[in-house]
Structures are given as structure tokens and as C-alpha cells.
């Protein structure tokens, strides 16, 4: 599933409630860092990780959306570490994230609307909330100012709110609603696994983001996705004739560099190819993997969203100071995809991801049947498997109860292949490039169909009035009808790329 993949603008949302808090609580909407969250999930610990402790999953930032794909006029739904989120932007241009659950009757706030004052209004009964989760208005209490103030100031009227920031084109969320988390977010907003070359700093000199962020959510677990991203040896087979070729396998090797660390690890990868020199990919916990090369680097974020599901973000960066040694035809193809983003998504990114997502969906259910014991379930004798072993060992030694993958976490029922490879619900509906392309394709299809119909009517009319159908004018009319009909068929085939394309390995020669 490995795929080829600006200065940062950081805006940490730290607005206070528009209403005064009760005397006994400084912030009625803040959760205690030592207690379970209101949703029943784990809560981040206040202290840093110590040797022997598991990874503090809830103390790190995660990307949840591509900023350019978000419509600021309405709220959006997302998931992170099992927490449903509602995202919206207020009138000042600041994004916010709250738990997607109205405290009144538990309706999803992401189905609501953004009011003119920047608050998020629940679509069920009209309750309004600010960026810190405080309830600012209850329509059913209009006319009773005292009751309105008391009800809005109650802790039970609050919705959990999470720190948010914008970094190199992504919207990030810290999944900790405690007051301490908001203080930490304000003090040090840049995520530890941000791409330094895309920030304002010396590392950014000469660096270029060659492709905008691509994102897709998959019906596979977070640990399965991480394992797959750390496995370069599957590319020539799972992605044959899309990103690799079966005949290119020359004895790939991977080797762990140094030791596993709480913050991740690096491994050496050698494909034995003259086109791709050995390199050293790195996993930076909790969710970042980079494959570096002299020409382009692939940057991937794998984000745990909900049980049985994960979201991937990917983009490529290049150092413009280094000479480009790629063949001219490769540069031509890359240049096309770098500029025609919907085509890159349809014929590269999604095509690559379709190559193994269904296999992973089935694989993890077979592993679950063996008690999620990868050491018993997998047989990995080749050096190429060393990076997979390293990732699994890291999860075992440092990951602990990985959110959405913890022992006993529900695994949704197996889905059909068509459901697993549903490009529209997993990518297209949220991608501005693919949405625009789909609109243009539908318009072009309608015009071509109209052209074919007009040409056919014209030919029938000539026949009715007795004009010879073998005349040159009739020939041009027939040619136009055939051309328009062919265009309709081609456009309908192209349209399918945004919805579902069956991936049959046996038919890929």
C-alpha cells in the first residue's frame, strides 16, 4: 500500500467560553487528565513517558483532514483514536474540534451548521457551542435569561473540545480535552512528527512539496496499516504494473538500524535495484513514516480513526538543489501527475491502494481468529520481513493497548470487495480535486450525449425527407454520432474511476 506522495501556518485554537464558568470550576468543559474521558475512552496522562510505560497515544498531535478539502461554510465529521469529531471554522478563520455528540440528546454536531457568530449549532434542537465546547445558547430557554445562564454554565451542557492547529496544509487535533492539554498546545504547538522541510526553518531551504496531500480512509486496523507501510517488499507484487513489477524482485532486504526506541525506529531497505539505491526509512511515533531517496521522499501519516478503520495521508517532497537524474519520460509522467491531481489520485494513488486493501481486510480477520498473535500466525523467514517484525515488536513493546486496536476492541464484520474498495466514500467525496473532475466529466458526458442525440435526429430527418444517407453530409453526421457515442462511453468509464474499480491480480499481466 506504499504510495508516492508551504510554509506552515500554525493557529492553535485557544478561545475561552463566551460565558463565565462556575466558581467551583475554572473551565466546566475541561476533562480531568487523570480520569476517563466522557466517551469512555482512555485519557492522556499528564506526565511524560518513562521507561517501561506504554506510548502516550493521547498526548500527540494527529492530522485529521486536508485543509484545502474542507468547506469552511459547514461542519465536517472525522474520527480520531475512537473519538468522533465535529470540525468547523469560525468567523475569524480559526478551526475547532469538539466531540461529535450534542450533550442535549446526543445528536451528531457535524450534521449542524456554522452560525454567523462562529458558533456551531446542533441541527436537532439548535443548541450552540463555541470553540472550547461551552454551550452559548439554548433556544428553548429564550425569554428566561437566568435559566439560560444557569443551564449554559452547567458542565453537563458542555461538549468536549480539543486543541487544533494548521501545519503544512493539514488540520491537526490533540485528542486530549484537559485544561493541561490546552496549555501545552499553546506553549508548543508544532507536532513532533511534522515534516521539518515544510516548516519555516533552515531545513526548508531548497525543499518543495511536489504533490498536494492525498487522503483516504480504509476499513483496516491501524496496526495492520503500519505493518503494511513498513513492508517495501510487497510493492512489486501487490502493485504490479502500477508502482512495481513482479520481475523486479531481486532479493529485497530490510534490516533494523540500532534498537527500537519509544519514539520509533529506522530500518535499512535495499531492493537490489540499480534505479533505487538503498535508503533508510524511518517510523516516527505515533503515526509518521518516511521513505527518503535522492530524488523524492514519500511522507506518510497513518492515523487510527475508529475500530477497524484507519486514515492515510501521503505527499512527496523533493530537494530542488539536487540534480534530477530521472529519465526524461519519467519526469514527463511525474510532471503530468504533479499538475493534474485528479488523474494522479485515480490512476496512481487509488490504483496502488486498491492493490492490497482487500487482502489486508481479510488478513487481519484471519489473524484475529488466531488471537491476534502475529508471531504464531505469520511465518516470515526472509530478510525482507525484518521491517515488519520491527514494527510489530515496537507495537508490542511500546504501543501497549493501541487505541482502536486494543485487546477486545470490536472488529467490524467482513465487508465485500466492492465495499472495501469503495473509492467514493473513502476518498472522492472529500477530495476537492476529484469532486471538480467528477463535475466536469458529468458535464462533458451530458454534452456528448446531447451531440450524439442531435446527430441521430439529423440523420433520421434526412431519411424522412428522402435525402440520400450516403451523401457526404450524411457521412459527417454519422461520424459525429459515432464520435459522440464513443465519447460518452469513454467518459462513463473514466467516471467509474472515482467510485469503484475491481482489482483482479490474476488479470494483471
Answer yes or no: are the C-beta atoms of 95 and 88 closer than 8 Å.
yes
Answer yes or no: are the C-beta atoms of 173 and 28 closer than 8 Å.
no
CA trace torsion 460, 462, 467, 473 (10° rounding):
-110
- Written in H, E and C, the secondary structure of 367-394 is HHHCCCCHHHHCCCCCHHHHHHHHHHHH
CATH 3.90.380 fits 206-417, yes or no: yes
DSSP 178: B
Measured distance CA(360)–CA(369) in Å, rounded: 14
- Reading phi first (left if > 0) and then psi (alpha if -120 to 50, else beta), residue 12 is in beta
pLDDT digits (tens, 9 = 90+) for 294-308: 778 999 999 999 999
Question: What tens-digit pLDDT sequence spans the chain (509 residues)?
Answer: 443 333 333 333 433 333 333 333 445 576 644 333 333 333 333 334 444 568 999 999 999 999 999 999 999 999 999 999 999 999 999 999 999 999 999 999 999 999 999 999 999 999 999 999 999 999 999 999 999 999 999 999 999 999 999 999 999 999 999 999 999 898 867 898 999 889 877 778 888 899 999 999 999 999 999 999 999 999 999 999 998 899 999 999 999 998 999 999 999 999 988 777 888 999 999 999 999 887 789 999 999 999 999 999 999 998 888 877 777 788 888 889 889 999 999 999 999 999 999 999 999 999 999 999 999 999 999 999 999 999 999 999 999 989 999 888 889 999 999 999 999 999 999 999 999 999 999 999 999 999 888 888 766 776 665 555 545 555 676 788 889 999 999 999 999 999 999 999 999 98
Q: Domain limits of the chain? A: 57-187, 206-417, 432-507
CA 244 to chain CA mean position, Å: 23
Q: Which ranges of 198-349 would DSSP assign to H, the alpha helix?
A: 222-229, 235-238, 328-339, 341-344
Measured distance CA(120)–CA(299) in Å, rounded: 33
Measured distance CA(222)–CA(302) in Å, rounded: 7
Measured distance CA(293)–CA(273) in Å, rounded: 13
- pLDDT-above-70 percentage for the chain: 86
pLDDT digits (tens, 9 = 90+) for 415-466: 999 999 999 999 999 999 999 999 999 999 999 999 888 888 766 776 665 5
DSSP 198: G
Q: Do domains 57-187 and 206-417 have the same CATH topology?
A: no
Longest dimension (CA), the chain: 94
Answer yes or no: are the C-beta atoms of 238 and 359 closer than 8 Å.
yes
Measured distance CA(508)–CA(216) in Å, rounded: 24
- Written in H, E and C, the secondary structure of 98-164 is EECCCCCCCCCHHHCEECCCCCEECCCCCCEECCCCCEEECHHHCCCHHHHHHHHHCHHHCCCEECE
pLDDT digits (tens, 9 = 90+) for 367-401: 999 999 999 999 999 999 999 999 999 999 999 98
**The listed CATH number (2.102.10.10, 3.40.50.2300, 1.10.3980.10, 3.30.70.380) that belongs to domain 57-187:** 2.102.10.10
Q: Determine the 3-state secondary structure of 269 from DSSP.
A: strand
**Cα distances (Å, whole numbers) of residue 189 to 9, 469, 508:** 11, 74, 46
Measured distance CA(288)–CA(290) in Å, rounded: 7
- 214-218 vs 309-319, strand pairing mode: antiparallel
Q: Determine the 3-state secondary structure of 419 from DSSP.
A: helix
Amino acid at each position: 500500500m506504499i504510495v508516492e506522495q508551504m510554509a506552515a501556518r500554525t493557529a492553535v485554537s485557544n478561545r475561552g467560553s463566551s460565558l463565565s464558568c462556575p466558581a467551583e470550576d475554572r473551565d466546566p468543559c475541561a476533562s480531568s487528565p487523570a480520569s476517563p474521558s466522557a466517551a469512555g475512552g482512555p485519557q492522556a496522562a499528564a506526565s511524560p513517558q518513562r521507561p517501561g510505560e506504554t506510548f502516550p497515544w493521547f498526548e500527540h498531535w494527529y492530522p485529521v483532514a486536508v485543509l484545502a478539502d474542507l468547506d469552511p461554510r459547514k461542519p465536517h465529521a472525522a474520527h480520531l483514536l475512537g473519538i468522533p469529531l465535529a470540525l468547523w471554522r469560525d468567523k475569524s478563520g480559526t478551526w475547532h474540534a469538539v466531540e461529535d455528540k450534542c450533550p442535549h440528546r446526543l445528536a451528531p454536531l457535524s450534521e449542524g451548521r456554522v452560525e454567523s457568530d462562529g458558533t456551531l449549532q446542533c441541527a436537532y434542537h439548535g443548541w450552540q457551542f463555541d470553540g472550547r465546547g461551552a454551550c452559548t445558547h439554548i433556544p428553548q430557554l429564550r425569554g428566561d435569561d437566568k435559566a439560560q445562564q444557569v443551564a449554559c454554565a452547567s458542565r453537563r451542557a458542555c461538549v468536549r473540545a480539543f486543541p487544533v492547529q494548521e501545519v503544512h496544509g493539514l488540520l491537526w487535533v490533540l485528542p486530549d480535552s484537559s485544561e493541561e492539554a490546552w496549555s501545552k498546545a499553546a506553549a508548543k504547538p508544532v507536532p513532533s512528527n511534522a515534516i521539518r522541510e515544510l516548516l519555516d526553518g533552515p531545513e526548508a531551504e531548497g525543499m518543495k512539496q511536489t504533490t498536494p496531500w492525498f487522503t483516504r480512509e480504509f476499513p483496516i486496523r491501524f496496526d495492520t496499516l503500519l505493518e503494511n507501510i513498513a513492508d517495501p517488499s510487497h510493492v512489486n507484487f501487490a502493485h504490479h504494473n502500477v508502482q512495481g513489477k513482479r520481475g523486479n524482485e531481486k532479493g529485497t532486504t530490510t534490516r533494523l538500524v540500532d534498537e527500537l526506541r519509544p519514539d520509533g525506529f529506522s530500518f535499512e531497505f535495499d531492493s537490489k535495484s540499480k534505479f533505487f539505491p538503498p535508503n533508510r526509512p524511518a517510523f516516527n511515533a505515533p503515526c509518521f513514516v518516511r521513505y527518503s531517496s535522492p530524488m523524492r521522499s514519500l511522507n506518510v501519516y497513518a492515523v487510527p480513526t475508529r475500530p477497524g478503520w484507519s486514515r492515510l495521508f501521503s505527499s512527496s517532497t523533493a530537494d530542488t538543489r539536487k540534480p534530477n537524474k530521472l529519465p526524461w519520460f519519467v519526469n514527463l509522467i511525474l510532471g503530468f501527475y504533479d499538475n493534474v491531481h485528479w488523474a494522479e489520485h485515480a490512476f496512481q494513488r487509488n490504483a496502488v491502494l486498491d492493490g492490497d486493501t482487500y487482502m489486508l481486510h481479510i488478513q487481519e480477520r484471519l489473524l484475529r481468529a488466531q488471537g491476534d498473535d502475529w508471531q504464531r500466525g505469520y511465518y516470515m523467514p526472509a530478510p525482507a520481513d525484518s521491517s515488519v517484525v520491527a514494527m510489530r515488536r515496537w507495537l508490542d513493546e511500546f504501543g501497549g493497548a493501541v487505541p482502536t486496536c486494543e485487546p477486545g476492541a470490536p472488529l467490524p464484520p467482513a465487508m465485500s470487495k466492492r465495499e472495501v474498495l469503495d473509492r467514493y466514500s473513502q476518498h472522492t467525496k472529500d477530495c476537492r480535486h476529484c469532486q471538480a473532475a467528477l463535475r466536469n466529466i458529468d458535464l462533458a458526458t451530458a454534452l456528448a450525449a446531447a451531440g450524439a442525440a442531435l446527430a441521430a435526429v439529423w440523420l433520421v430527418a434526412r431519411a424522412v425527407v428522402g435525402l440520400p444517407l450516403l451523401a457526404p453530409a450524411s457521412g459527417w453526421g454519422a461520424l459525429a454520432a459515432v464520435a459522440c457515442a464513443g465519447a460518452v462511453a469513454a467518459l462513463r468509464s473514466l467516471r467509474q474511476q472515482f467510485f469503484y474499480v475491481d482489482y483482479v491480480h490474476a488479470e494483471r499481466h
